[in-house]
Amino acid sequence: MKLHPSARTIIDAFDEGLCLLDASGALCEMNSAAEQLTGYRTDELSGQPFVEKLAVTLGNRGIDPADWSLWPRERWTPAQLNRKDGTTASLTCYLRALETPGAVSILLKLRKRADEERGGAALHDMKEQLEAIFGAMPDALVVIDEYGKVQLFSAGAEKLFGYAAKEVLGQNVKMLMPSPYREAHDDYLSSYRETGVRKIIGLGREVAGQRKDGSSFPMYLSVGEIRLEGARYFVGVTHDLTRLKLAEKRLLTLSAAVDQSPVAVMISNKDGCIEYVNSCFTRLTGYEANEIIGKNPRILQSGHTSKEQHRRLWEAIRSGEEWRGEIQDRKKNGELYWAQETITSLRDADGEITHYLAIQQDITEQKRDKEALAESEERFRNVAAMAGEWLWEQDPDGRYIYSSDAVHDILGLTPDEIRNRSYLELFFPDNQNLSFMTLRAQEAGNQRPFHRIVNHYRHKDGRDIFTESTGAPIFDGAGRLIKWRGVDHDITRRKEFEDELRVRNRAIESVQIGIVISDARAPGNPCIYVNPALSHITGYTREQLLGGNMRMLHGPGTDPAVLEQIRHALAAGEICEVTMMNYRKDGGAFWNDLLISPVVDDTGKITHFIGVLTDVTEKRRAEESRHELEIARHIQLSLLPAGPLHVPGVELAGVCLPATHVGGDYFDYFENSGVVDVVIADVSGHSVGAALIMTEVRSTLRAELRKRASARSGPADVLRDLNELLHPDLTRAELFITMFCFRYLPKRHILKFANAGHNSAVLLRSSETRCTLLDADGLVLGVKRGVVYEERSLKLRVGDKLLFYTDGVTEAQNREGEFYGVARLCDAFKAYRDLSPETLIKELLKNLRVFCGETPPSDDIAMVAMQIS
């Protein structure tokens, strides 16, 4: 439909782009402003769907532009369209339905978006004016459009947020907000545009901002709204509250510290009128805060402090000096108290005195204690001068307040050197725990006299000094402890002798070897002392042994030659050392390592004999068992292959290391009728029983493998028959066996293998860098009969290597409890892949030992390496 020329003239007069659309959205007419905005002439778009042709999109609402029913009506909405020249134009659009009859039903207005017209005079003038006003201010000024894009970012904003203006202009202002405000900001602007409901605009409140470095901070935000050329803008002014918040927090902390201070605090103005008292002040004086605030401090005066002292006090504080001194005041109930008081003047920024701060510490009890001490000091000094012992007095905390001169004779210190020092400081360092217990015994609840407590001091020259200390508490009239009074007696020499004798007796009594002392001067050399260990070894009580002779331990197995050697040594007064068979009270024999030494007096005459008896029965048995186990070890190791096996096409080497003398790990390999049979096995446990079972396994296995070397049967049949043959013996011995059995056919390069619950073998192909685990299904030997074992086979190539091992390798642990594991074994196997089987086995063992460190092996270890050549 074409417009009448006069109508065309009218719509061309509008600065805004006007588009007339039919109900389907096809263009009917548009004015020259719209042609400039789109780059199209009317006849180029006429009859075509306007929205689809120009790819119009609406803001961030996610509305399908083709769905006219969802388009915002009669409200300017941000939009974008593709111009004819390929550029994208950012616009605002206004949609209105026309109620006039005819084909035209929709009026679409278009105009450049305000942020696309940054050169607009009004917006430019506003920016200049705001920059002139706020440019030199520390507060931040931010101007945004109604969609949140930043139009102005002042110098104060750059300093506050850490961004340069060019980094922020044109960006969404939510980049300056921390979560969750950032996520909610766009919805807030959208809601305000639609509903007009304000949440912060025109109100101002405390919010949080986010700097470029990601840190958040408190700020006060005021937001105003302005309109320029039909566009709406929001002006935000922010003030950093960080220092204010810190000051508030510091003020609260200081206020709490003053109020909860253990000393009384009072603040008055410069005229002496009380303005503040803390909780301790009310507890000390008995006055509540509301009773004393507004009053003069003279309300506390007792009348016992001289006027001269008050005059000097006021002269000092009015001149700005600090005053310190003791003062006696009166509580609300009339009770007098002494206080150590400090008064300081408080000044304003100009240095003028505005207030006075007074701090009082109650010293009433200290004053009373000093008075009581003064009364008795002279009398006590006279008594101390006449006494030879170390007399002392200590305060309730154990610090010396008096000492007699005798301290110099005992500790080498003068009374002045220990005064005001704690008695703990004089103790020997090793005695601190005992000292602490002594101190606790002197404290409240245990304030009782103590008698003859042994104290360990250090002399001034470093020597150990021991004293017996006796003391008693001294109380005032109210029953409060004011000091301790006591006396110390030097017992150093006596203590050294007693300790030496006590240590010697305890040592003899506690040793696990028998000790006997006999009297060489009495007929028959009767026993005069035996220790508890001798009774334990022989079975005789101390009473049965004392007065008798050690001949009661002789029996049929006692060697007469040894007895003659003892008699000769006793007669000659020589030291005698023998090993002999003796008998206990119950008749049981034991081997005795006997040492006899003579004791002589000052004239060289033998007065006593000391005998030392040691039961070495178990030691001899262990040595015999160890010898037998060494023989068994050599026998077991002799049953293993004597060395590596070299046959055409294959090379093998193996090793077996029992955890103890004998073990249950086993390996074997041999060539028979052109095939190579290899087996590795592990009997549960690593005792002699396991070694015996493994010997039986070797014999049975070798017979089975040789019998089947030329037959078609393979490793699976061998394991099946072994299980049937060994099942009765394994069941009786309560043992089981894991076994990996394989047969290699060198001419065909075929490996056949079967597994009875053993560790998987490791295959390392010559052309690969990773290990492959070989396994087959099968139950361990000796659990049940009739087990069917799976047999597998694979073709090997020259350069391939295989490694077989027992769980003693992978379950070896280091001092941190880590297992060596299959992965670490594979890594080492790959690292040494170029070595011969024998050298490879040695390097693997070295690697395992380095991993375990000083941790001894807990299980047997066996490995077999095979190389295809």
Tens of pLDDT, residues 560-589: 999 999 999 888 889 999 999 999 999 999
Question: Which residue matches tokens 């008081």?
Answer: 341
User: Given this model, what pLDDT does residue 393 score?
Assistant: 93
For residue 56, give the nearest of 29, 17, 82, 74 by alpha carbon. 82
Dist. CA 814–CA 748, nearest whole Å: 43
User: Given this model, what pLDDT does residue 436 score?
Assistant: 44
At 735 the three-state DSSP class reads coil
Strands 323-330 and 274-277, how do they pair? Answer: unpaired
Q: Which residues of 402-427 are buried (b: 16+ CB within 10 A; e: fewer)?
A: bbbebbbebbebebeebeeebbeebb
For the chain, residues with pLDDT lower than 50 are 115-119, 432-433, 435-437, 439-440, 442-445
Q: Return the H-helix or E-strand segment holding 500.
A: helix 492-510
Q: Is the pTM of this model over 0.95?
A: no
The alpha carbon of residue 343 and the mean position of all alpha carbons in its chain are separated, in whole angstroms, by 49
- CB count within 10 Å of CB 836 equals 14
Dist. CA 78–CA 148, nearest whole Å: 12
Q: Return the H-helix or E-strand segment holding 737.
A: strand 737-745
Residues for the chain: how many in total? 869
User: Given this model, what pLDDT does residue 13 score?
Assistant: 77
The string of pLDDT tens digits covering residues 50-82 is: 888 888 877 655 556 666 666 776 667 778 888
User: Given this model, what pLDDT does residue 822 score?
Assistant: 93
User: Residue 615 in contact with residue 591, Cβ under 8 Å?
Assistant: yes
Dist. CA 215–CA 211, nearest whole Å: 5
User: Given this model, what pLDDT does residue 717 score?
Assistant: 87
Q: How far is the first Cα of the chain from the last one, in angstroms, to the nearest whole number?
A: 95
For residue 740, give the nearest of 691, 782, 778 by alpha carbon. 778
User: Given this model, what pLDDT does residue 416 score?
Assistant: 92
Dist. CA 168–CA 618, nearest whole Å: 90
At 486 the three-state DSSP class reads strand
With a CB cutoff of 8 Å and minimum separation 6, the contacts of 468 are 452, 453, 454, 455, 488, 489, 491
* Cα angle for residues 396, 401, 405 (degrees, 5° grid): 135
Q: HEC states along 163-216?
A: CCHHHHCCCEHHHHCCCCHHHHHHHHHHHHHHHCCCCCECCCEEEEEECCCCCE
Dist. CA 728–CA 734, nearest whole Å: 10
Under DSSP, the state recorded for 769 is: S
Dist. CA 333–CA 285, nearest whole Å: 8
Q: What one-letter code names the amino acid at 359?
A: I
- Helix then strand then coil, in percent of the chain rounded to 5, is 35, 30, 35
527 DSSP β-pair partners:
518
User: Given this model, what pLDDT does residue 87 score?
Assistant: 86
- CB count within 10 Å of CB 336 equals 12
In Å, how far are 482, 647, 668 from 747, measured between CA atoms?
A: 105, 11, 21
Dist. CA 587–CA 579, nearest whole Å: 18
Q: Which residues of 687-709 are buried (b: 16+ CB within 10 A; e: fewer)?
A: bbbbbbbbbebbebbbebbeebb
Dist. CA 406–CA 489, nearest whole Å: 10
With a CB cutoff of 8 Å and minimum separation 6, the contacts of 228 are 114, 120, 122, 123, 126
User: Residue 622 in contact with residue 630, Cβ under 8 Å?
Assistant: no
The string of pLDDT tens digits covering residues 286-332 is: 888 888 888 888 888 888 777 777 788 887 888 878 888 888 888 88
User: Given this model, what pLDDT does residue 629 score?
Assistant: 54
Q: What one-letter code names the amino acid at 505?
A: N
Phi, psi of 663 (to 5 degrees): -150, -175
Which pair of tokens denotes residue 659? 């955890």
Q: Locate all alpha helices (DSSP H) within 196-325, ordered by sequence.
A: 242-259, 279-285, 289-292, 307-318
For residue 758, give the nearest of 740, 776, 777 by alpha carbon. 740
